[in-house]
Amino acid sequence: MYLTRFRLNTHRAGARKLLSSPQTMHAAVLGGLPEKLPTTSGSSGAEDGRGEGRVLWRVDRNAKAEVLLYIVSPSRPEPTHMVEQAGRPRSEPETWWRTHDYTGFLSGLEKGQVWGFRLTANPVHSIRRKDGENTRRTAHVTVRHQAGWLLQQQERWGFEVLRKEEVDPARPEIDGYELLVHERNRSGFDKPDPRPGRKGARMRVPVVTATFDGRLTVTDPEALRRGLGAGIGRAKAYGCGLMTLAPVD
C-alpha cells in the first residue's frame, strides 16, 4: 500500500477543473494507476473495512497557493499525466509528488499511541420520517451533528479522540474533545440522469462533506489500519474517507 502527496498548481486551468469536479478528480487519480480496480467506483464497498483494492483521495486546501492531493492506493501510482494537466510540465515531474510505502507505517501502529489526524468525510445517518416508511440516508449539516458522527465512528475504527481538560458544559459534544470541524461543504455535482425517459437530462448528486482535525489515541491498531487503508464513511469516490496521521508533541 502506498501514500502519495501531490501538489496542485492552482494557477492552471487543468487544476481548477480537477478541483471543481470530484468525478473528474477521481478519474485523474485512477489514471495514474497501472490497473483499474473494481472496488474504486461509486460510494459502496469497503464500508465495513473490506476492499483492500480501495483507492482513496483527499484534497487539502491549506492556503490559496498550497493545495495538496493525498492518495492511498494498493499499487504505486504514476501521476505524470497530472503534472502535465495540473502541475508545471517543464519542471521535473517528481518534484510535484512524493510516494511512500505505507505498509511499514501501518504495521507500526500500536495501542496507546497519540497522533494528530485529518479526515474529510461524508457524515450521514439513516432516518425514518414516519412509521412503516423505509429509512433513507440523510447528511448531517450542523457542526454539532457532524462532530457527533465522527465520535460515533471511534470504537469501530480503533481510535478515541482526546478529551480536553476544560469542557464547556453547554457544548460537551464539540468542546469536550480536541476536535475541529471545518471546510464544510454542501455543493455536490451533476451527472446524467439514468431514469427511463430522461435521456439527455442531468440530475444533482448532493455530497455533504466536512473536514475533521484533532488528536486521537489508538485503541485497536488492527481496526485503525483497516480504516486508514479502506476509508472511513461513505462517498469515497468523491474525495471522502481518507484519514491521515501525523506526529504530535
Q: What's the angle, vertex CA 112, arms to CA 106 and CA 118, rounded to 5?
A: 55
What pTM, to 2 d.p., does this model score?
0.83
In the structure, what pLDDT confidence band is assigned to residue 204 with cuts at 50, 70 and 90? Answer: low
69-80 pLDDT per residue, tens: 999 999 999 988
Helix (H, G, I), strand (E, B) or coil at 48: coil
In this structure, what are the phi and psi dihedrals at residue 113, rounded to the nearest 5 degrees? -65, 145
What are 179's three cell numbers? 476536535
**Contact by Cβ (8 Å): 169, 175:** no
In CATH terms, are 2-107 and 114-246 the same topology? yes
Q: Reading across the β-sheet that carries 66-73, which strands appear in turn?
A: 56-63, 66-73, 2-8, 97-101
CATH code assigned to 2-107: 3.30.70
Calpha distance 87→14 (Å, rounded): 8
CATH code assigned to 114-246: 3.30.70.1210
In the structure, what pLDDT confidence band is assigned to residue 130 with cuts at 50, 70 and 90? Answer: low
Q: What is the DSSP string of 212-246?
A: EEEEEEES-HHHHHHHHHH-SSS-GGGT---EEEE
In the structure, what pLDDT confidence band is assigned to residue 189 with cuts at 50, 70 and 90? Answer: low
Query: How is the chain split into domains, by residue range?
Result: 2-107, 114-246
